[in-house]
Structure formats: structure tokens, C-alpha cells
């Protein structure tokens, strides 16, 4: 799905930092580090925050123990988290943002927010480093490949 950031209703995480007007409800797509950080900032300011994550856990790049502890902590802080949710459509209707999604039980649902923040799709900026020239292995997600001890295939890196 292509998403146009108008930075009025549909915000990037950078655009969300300059949000100054009264907002009651925010939807955040993505439960990685950026999404969770953004969610906790707005929640502490008294805004109702609902998170959406396509994975079955928050912080999907981290191990299950860390994810589980963070999930419980955030739920206890009254954040609403929708795991295993697939966003089908995003529309602006009557000055609200409508998110249509498939929930973890495969039900199609719609929910409205004053604003939404998109915190997915960030990729590492390693292209200019010419890592292939030194034979450093890169994984399928364009991250530097490491083993379980966070070591690369090169001895000194």
C-alpha cells in the first residue's frame, strides 16, 4: 500500500514531533522502537493511543522475552495494541483518519483517529558505505548480517 504523508492527518514519526494542535486519538502503525517511543510520548501527554503491528509481537526484531516484558508494560500503561493486524486501507473522512484493518481473528474492522503516525518502512542507510567492497555480508532486509553473538563475518567488525 502506498501511503501519502500529508503531515496533517497522516504523519511520519518526524512530522509527529511537530504536532501542536489538540488531538484526542492517535493511531500508530508499527510497533518497532520508533512506534513504541512515539506512542509513549503521546500517551504521557494524555492522548489515547492505539498501535497496529502486523507481527504477532511488538518489537519484532528483538527476542521474545524483551518483547513480552515491553508488551505487558505498555498494556499496563493503557496503550491499546493490535497485534497480527493487517492494514487494508487508510482514508481521510470528515476530518478524521479511517483505518480499515484485518484483526488477529481475521475480522475486518474500521477505526477512526484524529491523526495517524506511520512508523514502518525505515531501512538502514548503508548503501554509501560500499560494504560489498570489503565483503561484509548483508542480509535480505539490507541489514548487516550478524550471528547470535552480534559478530559479522569479518574478524575486526
Q: Is 38 part of a structural domain of the chain?
A: yes
Predicted TM-score of the model (pTM) = 0.80
- The tens digit of pLDDT for each residue in 6-18 reads 889 999 888 887 7
Based on the fold, state whether residues 99 and 144 are members of the same structural domain.
Answer: no
Same-domain check for residues 56 and 109: yes
pLDDT per residue as tens digits for the range 104-137: 999 999 999 999 999 987 777 788 888 888 999 9
Domain count, the chain: 2
Q: What is the mean pLDDT of the chain?
A: 91
Domain residues for 19?
A: 10-118
Regarding whether 104 and 153 lie in a shared domain, the answer is no
- Does the residue 46 lie in any domain? yes
The 3 state secondary structure assigned to the chain is CCCCCCCCCEEEHHHHCCCCCCCCEEEEECCCHHHHHHHHHHHHCCCEEEEECCCCCCCCCCCHHHHHHHHHHHHHCCCEEECCCEEEEEEEECCEEEEEEECCCCCEEEEEECEEEECCCCCCCCHHHCHHHHCCCECCCCCECCCCCCCCCCCCC
Amino acid at each position: 500500500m502506498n501511503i501519502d504523508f500529508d503531515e496533517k492527518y497522516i504523519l511520519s514519526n518526524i512530522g509527529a514531533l511537530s504536532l501542536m494542535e489538540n488531538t484526542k486519538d492517535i493511531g500508530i502503525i508499527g510497533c518497532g522502537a520508533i512506534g513504541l517511543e512515539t506512542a509513549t510520548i503521546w500517551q504521557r501527554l494524555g492522548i489515547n493511543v492505539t498501535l497496529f503491528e502486523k507481527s504477532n509481537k511488538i518489537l519484532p526484531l528483538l527476542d521474545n522475552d524483551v518483547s513480552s516484558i515491553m508488551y505487558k508494560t505498555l498494556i499496563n500503561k493503557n496503550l491499546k495494541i493490535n497485534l497480527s493486524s493487517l492494514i487494508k486501507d487508510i482514508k481521510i473522512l470528515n476530518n478524521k483518519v479511517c483505518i480499515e484493518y484485518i484483526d488477529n481473528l481475521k475480522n475486518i474492522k474500521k477505526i477512526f483517529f484524529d491523526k495517524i503516525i506511520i512508523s514502518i518502512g525505515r531501512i538502514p542507510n548503508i548503501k554509501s558505505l560500499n560494504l560489498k567492497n570489503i565483503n561484509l555480508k548483508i542480509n535480505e532486509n539490507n541489514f548487516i548480517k550478524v550471528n547470535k553473538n552480534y559478530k559479522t563475518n569479518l574478524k575486526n567488525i
